Chains A and B, each alone.
Chain A
Amino acid sequence: MSETALLESEIIVTRRESAEGWLRDAIENFGQKGVNWSRKYSLFSYPFVTACCGMEFMSVSGPRYDIAQYGAEFPRFSPRQADLIWIVGTISQKQAPVLKRVWEQMCEPKWGIAFGACASTGGFYDNYTTVQGADMVIPIDVYIPGCPPRPEQVLDGLRLLQNKIKTESGRVMV
């Protein structure tokens, strides 16, 4: 081992230095990796709550399950300020144009989560009035099953989305 390397290994790394080191790394590989990292912990969500799954969404947002610890705590009630749409509940045929319009108002990059059985597949409403899954209206990244899903499932779904954002190689900016 050379003298300099030995000297460096003896330096105690402080928290500030480690943070600066990370910052240097991030700037060097600023490409997609750093951008993805920052995006995945600052999801501004738009809850499109139409049905009873909303109760479970409130539970996840509340202090007990605390979705804030994953960096997605801040609901924006304007789609123009959001980059993650939660479709929480049944989407009826009458509501489909509304959902599409809300989605189109959101800026890129944007993601969608289908929360619960109805938003994912139409659930047991296999009839004239219900859209058979929100993915028939807008693209969906993560489907969370359950009627309604447990908060743990929701958090798992959010982690899945964050992993997806982390490994994204690029998105078309329209």
Chain B
Amino acid sequence: MAQFVLDQLCKHFPEAVEETSAVHGNETAYIKRDAILEVAKYLRDDAALCFDMPIDCTALDWQDQKPQRFEVVYHIYSTTLKHRLRLKIRLDEKDIETPALTQIWKGMNWHERECWDMYGVVFTGHPKLKRILLYEEFEGFPLRKDYPVEGRQPLIEMRDTATVPTEKEITPEMLNRP
């Protein structure tokens, strides 16, 4: 599939590529954080690679892996050469910052905002890094594994529904059946 791309990457950036793998045609390269901008620029501009389409940006939270707890995952695709690649960046829990690839592909803008919204990954150089799905008043990052499942943060005061009868307490009169 795109083994050629991985070979090219290893040839040009022997320092930056930590590890590569290819399972069922999903070519993956772990890239060092400091080199990601350079690598992405090369992937986009090189005539033999020509990755012109950003597909997705998301993150993974390996809660028990310390200190490199987070992984940021990018998917990119070439519409002319029809190959795709997955880039991964390992991040420390304490230093959760990575350069924004919005600078390379404009289409990564909302994906990176969502990634910030859900995981709290700080993308340096992003033009507008603010919440996209949740509301501004929300505290914390809900897709992190240590966020409580029922950590609700309502915007308005909720009504007391304790007085609503349960199924067993409903009488025929309540239903007003004729």
* Residue of B with least CB distance to A101: B156
A-B CB contacts (within 8 Å), total count: 53
A53 shortest CB reach to chain B, Å: 20
- Cβ of B150: which chain A residues have Cβ within 8 Å of it? 126-128
Residue pair A97, B151 in contact (C-beta under 8 Å) = no
A16 shortest CB reach to chain B, Å: 28
A34 shortest CB reach to chain B, Å: 18
Residue pair B155, A94 in contact (C-beta under 8 Å) = yes
- Cβ of B134: which chain A residues have Cβ within 8 Å of it? 94, 129
Interface size on B, residues (CB 8 A): 21
Per-residue interface assignment for chain A, residues 151 to 174, with 1 indicating a CB less than 8 Å from any chain B CB and 0 otherwise: 000000000100110110000000
- Cβ of A93: which chain B residues have Cβ within 8 Å of it? 135, 152-155
Is B171 part of the binding interface, using a Cβ–Cβ cutoff of 8 Å? no
Q: Name A137's contact: one of B153, B156, B175, B178 (CB within 8 Å).
A: B156
Bound state CA distance, A100 and B159, in angstroms? 11
Q: Name B155's contact: one of A97, A128, A139, A164 (CB within 8 Å).
A: A97
- Cβ of B149: which chain A residues have Cβ within 8 Å of it? 126-128
- Cβ of B164: which chain A residues have Cβ within 8 Å of it? 135
Residue pair A136, B176 in contact (C-beta under 8 Å) = no
**What range describes how many residues of A lie at the interface?**
20 to 34
B134 shortest CB reach to chain A, Å: 7
Per-residue interface assignment for chain B, residues 132 to 168, with 1 indicating a CB less than 8 Å from any chain A CB and 0 otherwise: 0011000000100001111111111011010010000
Residue pair A136, B147 in contact (C-beta under 8 Å) = no
- Cβ of B148: which chain A residues have Cβ within 8 Å of it? 128
Indicate whether A136 sits within 8 Å of B161 (C-beta atoms), given known contacts A94-B134, A94-B155, A128-B151.
yes
- Cβ of B66: which chain A residues have Cβ within 8 Å of it? none
B113 shortest CB reach to chain A, Å: 15
Bound state CA distance, A144 and B151, in angstroms? 27
Given A93-B153, A96-B154, A136-B159, 9 more pairs with CB closer than 8 A: A94-B134, A96-B158, A126-B150, A127-B150, A128-B150, A128-B153, A135-B159, A163-B175, A163-B178
On B, residues with C-beta under 8 Å from A are 134-135, 142, 147-156, 158-159, 161, 164, 175-178
On A, residues with C-beta under 8 Å from B are 93-94, 96-97, 100, 126-129, 131, 133, 135-139, 160, 163-164, 166-167
Give 7 closest A-B pairs by Cβ, nearest first.
A163-B176, A136-B158, A128-B151, A94-B135, A164-B176, A128-B142, A97-B156
